[in-house]
Amino acid sequence: MEENPLESANEECDAESLKGSKDKLSKAFLICIAYSATIGGTTSLTGTGATMVLKGVTEELYGEEAGITFANWIYFMLPMTILSIFMCWILLQYFFLGRRCCLWVRDCRCCTQESDEGKAVRELIQREYSALGDVSFAEMGVFIHFVGLIALWLFRRPAFIPTFEGWSQIFLIPNYIDDATTAMVIALSLTFFPSKMPWFIRRIFGKVDKDDKARPVEPLLTWESLQRRLPWHIVLLIGGGFALAKGCEESGLSGWLGDLFSALSGIPQWLIVFILSTTLCMFTEITSNVTTATIFLPICASLSEGLCMNPLYLMIAATIACTNAFMLPAANPPTTIVFAYGTVSIPDLVKAGMFQNVVGVTLINILVNTMGTAVYDVLKFPSWASNDACVANATVIAD
């Protein structure tokens, strides 16, 4: 009698064959959280410290003519983020869930029947969700400020809308308004916005009792909370990066490095990007991504000028490579937090992170040569980056 393939699949899905799957699933979930937070953070300029360093260093060296804005960075990074998340999902399933029958046989018993533990988890999630209650006035206030911040960032100077110059044009000197101005305005507003519905608003909606009187209300953001929770180390690291970039320029180190790196002019530009991204991806496994970006971005700017390359070509690739670290706990904060729980071991991170690093480096090199050309025109040397070192290098090449 011919064996039924569904019965064979069901035998493979019994409790014995799935022994230890809970631990593997827990590891997959934890690593998934760390990796997705790291990958998703690069989508916006404020998502990671490295992208903030990139924004600050480019403005310090070249001004706003470099053209990196909140809106075009999202447009530039979104394809890579989607592809990276998809590849991360495939890799984590392969390494921690294996080729389970649920992936191939839809009528398998382990797919169609929910276990008692699964039902208990579902009930727990539903119970915790119900305990959240309605959205509070403070939560709605924070959400409004968040949406307002994103909108102000996007439409300050929206290059994606040619007929609209942006809301910053209403000021006498629009160049004085930048992304930091918007952030400070929203932060200041949080210190005034009440955390509870004011008495006069409650009175309008008929929510005032007879004994209810007007009282002072604590704001959404207090100074004590701000100074306790603000990541001052990020501020100091980014500020140090600006100082390092300016010091390299004023001391002549940038010009010296440009002359030194001019010997690499015979190497194809795409190969330089590949070597740089691979090197930084491995280097940042043992150092902070913000620290790595702070050190190497000014050097990348000098290297680009010495080779008459668009500085954004190398600086963008270097920035993404600094955040593309998944193998070790020290690589980035999300991985450190997940490792601290004790469930995920270093071999687990190395096993999944090694292949995710390869995927990341591959996507970086594809991204900067495709979307980088479309958004930032990275294959052409811009006028805002011209300097004596580049002019001298161009003269030597012409001769």
Q: Summarize pLDDT for 99-141 with one digit per residue, the tens.
A: 554 444 444 444 444 556 567 778 888 888 888 888 888 999 9
Whole-Å CA distances, 23 to 19, 28, 105, 307, 353? 9, 9, 23, 51, 18
pLDDT of residue 105: 43
- Please say if the pLDDT value at position 67 is more than 80: yes
Contact (Cβ atoms closer than 8 angstroms) between residue 41 and residue 81:
no
Q: Is the CB of residue 272 less than 8 Å from the CB of residue 319?
A: no
> According to the model, what pLDDT value does residue 2 have?
44
pLDDT in tens, 256-280: 766 776 667 778 889 989 988 998 8
Contacts of 314 (CB under 8 A, 6+ apart): 272, 273, 276, 300, 301, 303, 304
Cβ 341 vs Cβ 295: under 8 Å:
no
173-200 mean pLDDT: 85
Question: Is pLDDT of 391 > 60?
Answer: no
In angstroms, rounded to a whole number, what is the distance separating the alpha carbons of residues 157 and 159? 6
Phi/psi of residue 344, nearest 5 degrees: -95, 130
Neighbours of 252 (CB within 10 A): 9
Alpha-carbon torsion angle 157, 298, 263, 375, nearest 10: -20
- pLDDT value at residue 254: 67
Helix spans in the chain (H): 5-12, 21-41, 49-62, 70-92, 109-112, 116-131, 137-154, 179-190, 199-204, 223-229, 232-251, 253-261, 269-283, 289-306, 311-323, 333-340, 346-376, 388-398
Q: What is the pLDDT of residue 302?
A: 81
Q: What is the pLDDT of residues 190-246, one digit of tens each?
A: 998 988 887 777 777 666 666 666 677 888 888 888 888 887 777 777 777 677 777
> Does residue 339 surpass a pLDDT of 70?
yes
Q: What percentage of the chain reaches a pLDDT higher than 90?
A: 16
What is the reported pLDDT for 315? 93
Q: Provide the whole-model pTM.
A: 0.74
Residue the block writes with tokens 């998502």: 47
Per-residue confidence (pLDDT) for residue 15, from 0 to 100: 39
